[in-house]
Amino acid sequence: MNQAKKRHKSKMLNETRKWIFAISAFILIVTILTIALLFNPAINKANIVDTDPAFKTFTDHYLSIMKNLNSSATRSQMALQLNPNYNQTDLFTWQQSKMIFAQDPTGFYEDRFQILASGKGICVQWSIVYVSACLALGYQSRLVVAVDISSWSFIHTWAEDYYNGTWVHVDPSDKVWNNPLRYQSWSWGSAIGSQVKIFAFEDGTYKDVTATYSSH
């Protein structure tokens, strides 16, 4: 009987040790992960972004524009102004005959028809019209915005087309097709990935695409 009790006691002791080891290992892993999170600048910055009201204002603004461009009413009305046989590069060329680049901010709109009626705009207006034209003919296209994350103010806007199975950089206001690293030479280019982030907006969603435009 004593031997049985000893074996039982030994078994219970071994089980207890296993549980203590497992719990200790778990606590150690959680502690390491917590420290890694606290000292990882990229993760900290992401958490700050998620809770920054200015970031929500920024994203809500461009999501609203994309919701409008993706509406069936906008698509059908825009399609009436286009040759139905145009592809994405045709639309890129078509826009050059419809608009001029103007630095004067007066009379600038974010409605595609008002923009076309005025016939002018900066990068924002050009990109809105181009994306709207692509969507109207059934092509997948999205607005892309470079933003200063210290103030969440936009720096430059362009577009991306889903073309031949991949997202392609399109900057209609500068007449540039598929040269994503071109901004590296701009005054704010060296800050891409740090103070400058780049987001792509579709209908109801957005994505951080900074890595596409960074040479780092």
Percent of residues, the chain, with pLDDT higher than 70: 75
Residues 2 and 73 reside in one and the same domain: no
Element at 123 (helix H, strand E) = helix 123-136
Which residues constitute the domain of residue 144? 53-213
> Each residue of 28-58: pLDDT tens digit?
665 555 554 444 444 334 444 556 899 999 9
Residues 118 and 162 reside in one and the same domain: yes
> Each residue of 102-133: pLDDT tens digit?
877 666 789 999 999 999 999 999 999 999 99
Residues 6 and 78 reside in one and the same domain: no
- Confidence band of 3 (pLDDT split at 50, 70, 90): low
Q: Which tokens in the block code for residue 210?
A: 């900074």
More confident: 30 or 191: 191
Q: Domain for residue 44, yes or no?
A: no
Average pLDDT over residues 13-34: 60
- Confidence band of 182 (pLDDT split at 50, 70, 90): very high
Q: Domain for residue 48, yes or no?
A: no
Residues 138 and 103 reside in one and the same domain: yes
Residues 25 and 76 reside in one and the same domain: no
Residues 119 and 19 reside in one and the same domain: no
Q: To which residue do tokens 């957005």 refer?
A: 206
Residues 22 and 106 reside in one and the same domain: no
Closest Cα to residue 192, out of 139, 137, 147, 126?
147
Q: Domain for residue 47, yes or no?
A: no
Residues 18 and 74 reside in one and the same domain: no
Average pLDDT over residues 49-72: 90
Counted domains in the chain: 2
Q: Domain for residue 46, yes or no?
A: no
Q: Domain for residue 176, yes or no?
A: yes
Domain with residue 129: its CATH number is 3.10.620.30
φ, ψ of residue 49 in degrees (nearest 5): -60, -45
d(CA 115, CA 98): 10
Residues 64 and 152 reside in one and the same domain: yes
Residues 132 and 201 reside in one and the same domain: yes
Q: Which tokens in the block code for residue 143?
A: 């607005």
Residues 100 and 196 reside in one and the same domain: yes
Q: Which tokens in the block code for residue 136?
A: 């109207």
The answer, yes or no, to whether residue 176 has pLDDT greater than 90, is yes
Residues 73 and 120 reside in one and the same domain: yes
